[in-house]
Amino acid sequence: MKLYIYEHCPFSARVRFVAGMLNLAIDVVTIDYDDDKTTTDIIGNKQVPVFVKGDGEAIVESLDIINHFLNLADSVETNIPSQAVLDWQRSAFSPLQKVGYPRWSLMDLKEFSTDSSKKAWRSKKETEALNFDALLADTSVIAEEVEALIRKAGDVLHLGSDKRMKLVDEAIVFSILRGFFCAPEINWDLSVKEWMESVSKKTNVKLLK
């Protein structure tokens, strides 16, 4: 069983988070960002995550992969996120792009190990609205937006209460929040940071810093 990913990708991270929480042994393969061949040969287009089962069948949507993992583990959990997490996720994608896009390709991530992969990233992701240099210059303003989002994540996760989150909800929140660690200017709510560090260690899905 192989899981093809990018390390920066939140959809890849949520799948890896669930596999880690369920103690599933998965062969994780990080492909170069400018690799147009590997997943195209498997599913007909460039996309991650892609999970290839032992019988060769491929699963491509992150929630479908999570559902397969839950079935493998005989879990009673569901792969359907709660509305509160879906609403939070919707508000999080734009700040995540603002923080991550100009920074991730400069980090020591396997998918950006070559100059051509770094150039491919910038060519695809940089737009007039998401100008990398402008985003970096605007870090202090963006950080305030992210810090509010982090505080809201603490409420969504019910940290400090006895209410248990669904695994898929935790996976989604974790997969997005980990991307903000690449900007040291962001001040973290302590309880959220401690939760992130704890589940990162438990699942072996590293934070992006």
* Cα 180 from chain centroid (whole Å): 10
Is 99 found in the same domain as 151? yes
Query: What is the reported pLDDT for 140?
Result: 97
Distance from C-alpha of 131 to C-alpha of 137, rounded to nearest angstrom = 10
Q: Is residue 78 part of a domain?
A: no
Q: The domain containing residue 60 runs over which residues?
A: 2-72
pLDDT of residue 146: 98
How far, in Å, CA of 116 to CA of 124, rounded?
12
**Strands 58-59 and 27-30: what pairing?**
unpaired
Assess whether 199 and 99 both reside in one domain: yes
Please report the pLDDT score of residue 162 as a whole number: 83
For residue 195, being part of any structural domain is answered with yes
Residue that finishes a domain, picked among 72, 98, 119: 72
Identify whether residues 88 and 146 lie together within a single domain. Answer: yes
For position 122, what pLDDT does the model report?
Answer: 98
The CATH number linked to 55 is 3.40.30.10
Q: In total, how many domains does the chain have?
A: 2
Digits of tens for pLDDT over the chain (209 positions)? 899 999 999 999 999 999 999 999 999 999 999 999 999 999 999 999 999 999 999 999 999 999 999 999 999 999 999 999 999 999 999 999 999 999 999 999 999 999 999 999 999 999 999 999 999 999 999 999 999 999 999 999 988 888 889 999 999 999 999 999 999 999 999 999 999 999 999 999 999 99
Confirm whether 208 is domain-assigned.
no
Single-letter amino acid code for the residue at 88: W
83-88 contact pairs (CB < 8 A, 24+): 84/156, 84/169, 85/156, 85/169, 85/172, 85/173, 88/149, 88/152, 88/153, 88/156, 88/173
pLDDT of the residue at 164: 84
Q: What's the pLDDT score for residue 208?
A: 98
